[in-house]
Amino acid sequence: MNISENGLNLIKSFEGCRLTAYTDAAGVWTIGWGHTGGVYAGQTIAQAQADQLLKDDLKAYENKVMKYDDTYGWNQNEFDALVSFAYNVGSIDQLTANGTRSRDTIASKILEYNKSGGKVLAGLTRRRAAEQGLFLTPMQAKTQYGWNQTQYGYWWQYEDGTYPANKWELINHHWYLFNPDGYMVTGWHRWDGQTCDPEDGSGDWYFLDNTSGGPYEGACWHTRENGAQEIWYVD
């Protein structure tokens, strides 16, 4: 796993960037977003170089977080937060108690690392709060144009982010019926011209293919002129 742009932006918001070499508080020559390897007096770099150096430097800290991935199975937000923490503190060994702490404990302990020389620093307090906030932010389920699936079934999303509900929709040459909640229905269902499965039991019956996992699951069947049944294909 690699840090995302969201994680990079978090780190950048606290690190600051200087494109001309300088000595830090410890007298170490530094440049960019805190890069120290091979830096010399008078050195200058472009912004793109500084950004790349940060990504390169973070690889070691990504590995330090991934060291515990088998134990926790980090999601992207947790991973990003911990890489930021490790880049600032050095590792997450103590924070996780070498992989023995629960997620809840890790989240609460992040805030405790806000001191330098025994004194609470406002900058570190803000950084720890931001890292904790990201760590605790749930991952959003990704949806996309076309078919999507949840535990409740399949649904279709238009390019504008909306979806059909309580209506028929022609998709890839086949008719599909969606219930009022927006989920594709299968098997026998009624349609009265306005509502899927009206409460009064009115409407005509339609059969939607119910072969679970089949290529035409949910597609409407119809009767041919000779009385045979087939999945309805619309040119």
Range of the domain at 90: 5-135
Give the residue-averaged pLDDT of 62-71: 97
Q: What is the pLDDT of residue 141?
A: 58
Higher pLDDT, 235 or 208: 208
- Apex 114 CA angle, 113 and 118, nearest 5: 95
Residues 41 and 153 in one domain: no
Single out the residue in 66, 101, 135 at which a domain terminates.
135
- Token couple for 205: 């019956």
Distance CA 14, CA 96 (A): 23
Examine residue 14 and state whether it is found in any structural domain, yes or no.
Answer: yes
* Number of domains into which the chain is organized: 2
Tens-place pLDDT, residues 203-228: 999 999 999 888 999 999 999 989 99
Distance CA 180, CA 85 (A): 46
Residue holding tokens 């890839």?
Answer: 172
Q: Which residues are catalytic?
A: 15
Residues 128 and 215 in one domain: no
- Token couple for 146: 């076309």
Q: What is the pLDDT of residue 142?
A: 57
Which of these ranges, 24-28, 61-65, 204-208, 213-217, has the smallest mean pLDDT? Answer: 24-28
**0.95 exceeded by pTM:** no
Residues 153 and 99 in one domain: no
Q: What is the pLDDT of residue 14?
A: 86
Residues 154 and 118 in one domain: no
Residues 223 and 150 in one domain: yes
Distance CA 217, CA 203 (A): 22
Q: What is the pLDDT of residue 47?
A: 96
Residues 45 and 127 in one domain: yes
Q: What is the pLDDT of residue 94?
A: 98
pLDDT tier, 71 (very low <50, low <70, confident <90, very high otherwise): very high
Question: Is the pLDDT confidence value at 202 over 90?
Answer: yes
Q: What is the pLDDT of residue 143?
A: 55
Distance between first and last Cα of the chain: 45
Residues 110 and 214 in one domain: no
Q: What is the pLDDT of residue 104?
A: 96
Give the residue-averaged pLDDT of 32-60: 95
pLDDT tier, 98 (very low <50, low <70, confident <90, very high otherwise): very high
Distance CA 68, CA 83 (A): 12
Examine residue 172 and state whether it is found in any structural domain, yes or no.
Answer: yes
